[in-house]
Chains A and B, each alone.
Chain A
Amino acid sequence: MPTDPVIEVAGVTKTFAGVRALGDVDFTLRRGEIHALVGENGAGKSTLIKVLTGIHTPDSGSITRNGHISTIYQEVNLVPLMSVSANLFLGREPRNRFGLIDRARRDADAAELLRGYGITADVSSPLGTLAVGEQQMVALARAVAADADVVIMDEPTSSLEPREVETLLGVVRKLHEAGIAIIYVSHRMDELYRICDTVTVLRDGANVHSGPLKELPRIELVSLMLGRSVKEIEKHGTTAFGEGHQADTQPVLEARDLTSKPRIGGVGVSIRPGEVVGLAGLLGSGRTETAKAIIGALPLDRGTVLVAGKPVAHNVKASMRAGISMLAEDRKTEGIIPNLSVRENIVLAALPRLSRFGVTSRSKQDRIVDTFVKRLRIKVSSPEQKVAELSGGNQQKVLLARWLCTEPRILLLDEPTRGIDVGAKAEVQALIDELAREGLAVLLISSELDELLDGADRLIVLRDGSVAGELEGDQLTREHVLTAIAAEVTDDSGDHAGSHQDSR
């Protein structure tokens, strides 16, 4: 394998408004390697990527680039309203002899190119009509077709379903075989160990480790990222969930026959106080829809929701009054209000209870905010800090605090740890555990099977909008879940389950 560096960074420092984002960082990417770049949120990964691509100019240090760099970001950075083929060839369109764009050839080239990535969608339709995974693949195809020598992938799999992840990893391997160097940023250990050769760990803006990944045990890697000792982590495990919970016998939430065609049909969920029930299933299997149906945010064809045996009218207001709260999946669009302060974000949902004749008591607000900031260990300089300035994990905690201060009995959590770093993830998981211990009924939706298996007392597996199985006790294993998901579904899901086992 050729080993000459394609990117070499030496002693790079970058400061934003007095805050050091990168301090004296060295980083070398060699031709043809897949290099994992890991670190908690705020460790400086994004800044390093932006320095590499030239978006930021470093304050000091040197960067040598021996090739063309393309970056694939977590959010697909393409233009949704333009056609798939226009996106693919933007800036280097095929021309006819008059110098005009040859649209027929562009479509034909695009269709052929994408076939190699397993996409058969109509290339002349707007990109926005494709599924996220397919869009991601288009972005990747674009980067590769642009003759990139280096492809930087920033959390490319965070919004993909398992099957799409497999396709993407397959493409990454193909790029690798073609001699393209890849910088792979991800929080997912499994993926990193499956495809990466080398790893660089950033912590607090410094490079704390660079070297071959295979020789580095997982637990060592986590301890490097967190800056905590291996022993400490061994004691607590990689997820922060405790043992099973004491659950009362009478369910506090009972949802029956939830049907909203075509997305869910006949889904039933019951949760006892103190119990964490997990919803498993592939993307699009109806997990989020089930949670939305329970809280009354999804119009139902039929179905009832009972809280403590009493039926609840099917609207969000009534559900919240009955004690149901939901933490939405996409905290950017459905949750936080970035320009409001931490205090304002937290008390938002509880305002009606805190106010009299429309006037809110500031001292009551401060008291509640103070309690939750402490209890959830939210890292803020003051409650008046803007939420936008917080890290993903702390934003998630602010949201959690918002719903907790309405004193719910039932908490619906949709992907509560998505896109937040390992440390914050563990804290959020520990919090979920703690809340259940205090008697809250929790519905946990997660794409990470480990999180569900560790965190939930019981699992409901959804497939194509209906319940494919319920697992408890000894059945809470990866194999059981995959079997439930894959049952009746044809061969390629079976392959998928197999590949997961290989990876372990």
Chain B
Amino acid sequence: MTVSETSRRHRAVLPKAARTKVLQRQGAAVALVLMVAVSWLVFPRFGSLDNLRDLALQGSFLVVIAIGMTFVIITGGIDLSVGSLYALGGVLAAWGSQYGFLAALALPLAVCGLIGLINGLLIARTNMAPFIVTLASLLFARGLLLAITDEGANTYQIPADSAFVELGRGTVFGFGYPIFVAAVLAVLGGMVLNRTNFGQNVFATGGAEQSAVLLGVPVAKTKVLVYTMSGTLAGLAGALTAAYLQSGVTVIGVGLELDAIAVVVIGGTLLTGGMGTILGTVIGVGLIKVIQNVINQIGTLDSNYQSVVSGVFLLIVVVLQRILRR
């Protein structure tokens, strides 16, 4: 093939690819910067250190869950169980805190990780649809949660002097520990995704599963791992929340799986798999949280409009992805 022919073919492809790249990778980032700039100017309280700290803390729990969801979605799957596992993790952490710090942390991670592992095994070994398998765990985990808390009547409190509370409420320069946990996990997640063999397997599995098998990628093992990871991270987010709230609240996390999916997609990860970034997901969380924060600041606006705006955003992103992929 001559050079001229190569370049001619590429000229047709590249501008569009570049456009796609910018809009998909940086679209959410641009929107976030704009949102922050406008909010800063319009709402004087928005830029205050207190508000920003609060914003980051609120976002950190979702970031932890969404990291797992990003891996799952890049493999071409979906994990609907994370909302329930989040709540279950919180309750287990609160219950476990009576036996000390380690129990409070290990119990939710182990149980939620195990449920994630079962999700992964069912999906990878039996070829059942991730949607159905994780929907079943959503119901299962929520049911288990209600059973062990007497339908929510029994709320486990975490002793205020427990070291575990510190994990949720401790701060450095006023920034809560969960923010650092989320930040460390995000950096680790990005590294695992882009700089390890497992990460490459995640992309290959979602990008072209049949090819991945032929290329020698352990597709089944990769799937089992991502769902286990997603479950474990949901449990961890639950534990952090429980530590922050000083109790295991049973009613939280309903519909949280959908928020997690939304931020991942807004962050530029393809819902069909094969492409995505952790940074994008973090930006997606930022965007959703800034919108919520602003609507709260307006005060007169019903807080339900948070969902309305988030929904519109999600739709715009998905439509853009579809158009650009053509």
Interface, chain A (partner B; CB < 8 A): 71, 73, 77-82, 86, 90-91, 93, 100-101, 103, 118-121, 125-126, 129, 131, 133-134, 163-164, 167, 262, 284, 490, 492
Contact = CB atoms under 8 A, between A and B. Distances in A.
Interface string B215-232: 111000000000000000
A91 B216 contact: yes
A93 B197 contact: yes
B13 A81 contact: no
Contacts of A284: 5, 9
Contacts of B274: 79, 81-82
B194 interface: yes
17 contacts: A73-B214, A77-B208, A77-B210, A79-B204, A79-B208, A79-B211, A80-B208, A82-B204, A91-B200, A100-B191, A103-B194, A119-B1, A120-B6, A126-B17, A129-B13, A129-B17, A134-B6
A133 B1 contact: yes
Given A91-B197, A121-B6, A77 B211 contact: yes
B265 to A, nearest CB: 16
B3 interface: yes
Nearest to A262: B12
Nearest to A263: B12
Contacts of B204: 79, 82, 90
Contacts of A77: 208, 210-211, 214-215
Contacts of B2: 490, 492
Interface in B157-208: 191, 194-197, 199-201, 203-204, 207-208
Given A82-B207, A120-B3, A133-B1, A90 B200 contact: yes
Given A77-B211, A81-B274, A82-B207, A131 B9 contact: yes
Contact of B207 (A80, A103, A131): A80
Nearest to B17: A129
A427 to B, nearest CB: 31
A101 B197 contact: yes
Nearest to B197: A93
B314 interface: no
Contacts, number: 84
B207 A81 contact: yes
B200 A101 contact: yes
B211 A134 contact: no
Interface in B262-291: 270, 274-275
Contact of A93 (B3, B200, B212, B275): B200
A91 B10 CA distance: 28
B261 to A, nearest CB: 19
B14 interface: yes
A164 B9 CA distance: 14
Contacts of A100: 191, 195-196
A93 B200 CA distance: 9
Given A91-B217, A101-B196, A163 B203 contact: no
A287 to B, nearest CB: 16
Contacts of B17: 125-126, 129
Contacts of A490: 2
A129 B10 contact: yes
Contacts of A120: 3, 6
A149 B264 CA distance: 43
B80 to A, nearest CB: 24
Contacts of A262: 12
The residue among B199, B208, B210, B212 with the most chain A CB atoms within 10 A of its own CB is: B208
Counting from the closest, the 10 A-B pairs by CB-CB distance are A79-B207, A100-B195, A81-B274, A77-B211, A81-B207, A101-B195, A79-B208, A77-B214, A129-B13, A79-B204
Contacts of A73: 214
B203 A82 contact: yes
Given A103-B195, A125-B17, A167-B1, A78 B200 contact: no
Interface in B9-32: 9-10, 12-14, 17
Nearest to A131: B9
B301 to A, nearest CB: 40
B221 to A, nearest CB: 13
Contact of A71 (B1, B200, B214): B214
Contacts of A126: 17
A79 B197 contact: no
Given A121-B10, A284-B9, A86 B203 contact: yes
Nearest to A137: B1
Nearest to B4: A490
Nearest to B209: A79
B50 to A, nearest CB: 38
A81 B274 CA distance: 6
Contacts of A79: 203-204, 207-208, 211-212, 215, 274
A121 B10 CA distance: 9
A78 B215 contact: yes
A164 B1 contact: yes
A78 B204 CA distance: 8
A86 B13 CA distance: 20
A262 B11 CA distance: 11
B275 A81 contact: yes
A254 to B, nearest CB: 30
Contacts of B195: 100-101, 103
Contacts of B3: 120
A125 to B, nearest CB: 7
A210 B274 CA distance: 43
Contacts of B14: 125, 129
Contacts of B270: 81
Contacts of B211: 77-79
B70 to A, nearest CB: 15
Contacts of A164: 1
Given A82-B203, A118-B1, 16 more contacts: A77-B214, A77-B215, A79-B208, A79-B212, A86-B200, A90-B201, A90-B204, A91-B200, A100-B195, A101-B194, A101-B200, A120-B6, A126-B17, A129-B14, A164-B1, A284-B9
A73 B215 CA distance: 11
A129 B17 CA distance: 8
A82 B1 CA distance: 23
Contacts of B12: 262
A134 B204 CA distance: 19
Contacts of B13: 129
Contacts of A103: 194-195
Nearest to B274: A81
